[in-house]
Amino acid sequence: MTLSRRHLVLLPGLALLGCEKVERPLRGCATPIDDASQQQRRALAYVAETPNAGQRCDNCNKYVANQFQDCGGCLLFSGPVAPAGYCRSWAASPLKPATEAGP
């Protein structure tokens, strides 16, 4: 099989379709967190990766979307929270059902 110029143009795009989703780092999530916020995060057992499928910061009613670029904020403490995060104060947002697994 000989490759035409058209094939050479299309091949990189087709190769990308077969690749797994490439994760890029979330922007804004490394914003410094003050001591008071750290203390509150520990008290609420905040984690950046939820252990509970379907219960994530980005479907919690206290989540403030995109407050820190790709990361959101939380009404309970300052600084960024990961969209896939979780804490003991999680409560379902009426805007995003708890069964939703991502943004």
Q: 55 near 98, Cβ under 8 Å?
A: yes
Name the E strands within 1-103. Answer: 63-68, 71-74, 77-81
68 binds ligand SF4 (CB under 6 A): no
Whichever of 10 and 69 has its CB closer to ligand SF4, that residue is: 69
60 binds ligand SF4 (CB under 6 A): yes
- Among 40, 57, 68, 79, interactor with ligand SF4 by CB under 6 A: 57
**Shortest Cβ 81–ligand SF4 spacing (Å):** 5
In sequence order, the 6+-apart residues with CB closer than 8 A to the CB of 62 are 74, 75, 76, 89, 91
Residues that bind ligand SF4 (CB under 6 A): 46, 57, 60, 62-63, 74, 76, 81, 85-87, 89-90
